[in-house]
């Protein structure tokens, strides 16, 4: 990369279908390196992004409803693979 200008191959965000099926790293080319070597069709899905992630409001709604009922509940701070989180401290919940 020279002077901040990118030249060359444009890459796709996700892997092609054959690479997903083989669980191999896809270089995002058209065709990708693996499909080119195997002389097979390189097909990229046009579907929406992964359905694995759950939207933030639906993840937060249980804790939010508890906090709305009792805003004096102590919060517990933690860092997870998804990022910074604030949760209600378990010892402050009356589970019985």
Biggest CA pair distance of the chain: 64
**Averaged pLDDT of the chain:** 71
Tell me what pLDDT residue 88 has: 55
Binned at pLDDT 50, 70 and 90, residue 32 comes out as very high
Task: Identify which has the larger pLDDT, 34 or 84.
Answer: 34
Residues of the chain with CATH 4.10.240.10: 10-52
**Can you tell me the mean pLDDT for 71-84?**
59
How far is Cα 57 from Cα 61, in angstroms, rounded to an integer?
Answer: 6
Binned at pLDDT 50, 70 and 90, residue 10 comes out as low
CATH homologous superfamily for the domain 10-52: Zn(2)-C6 fungal-type DNA-binding domain (4.10.240.10)
* pTM, entire model: 0.38
How far is Cα 53 from Cα 82, in angstroms, rounded to an integer?
Answer: 10
Tell me what pLDDT residue 25 has: 93
Other CB atoms within a 10 A radius of the CB of residue 34 amount to: 19
């Amino acid at each position: 990369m020279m002077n901040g200008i990118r030249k060359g191959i444009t890459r796709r965000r996700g892997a092609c279908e054959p690479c997903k099926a083989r669980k191999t790293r896809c270089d995002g080319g058209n065709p990708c390196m693996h499909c080119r070597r195997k002389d097979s069709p390189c097909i990229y899905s046009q579907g929406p992004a992964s359905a694995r992630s759950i939207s933030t409001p639906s993840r937060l709604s249980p804790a939010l409803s508890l906090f709305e009922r009792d805003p004096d509940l102590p919060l517990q701070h933690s860092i997870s693979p998804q990022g910074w989180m604030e949760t209600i401290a378990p010892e402050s919940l009356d589970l019985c």
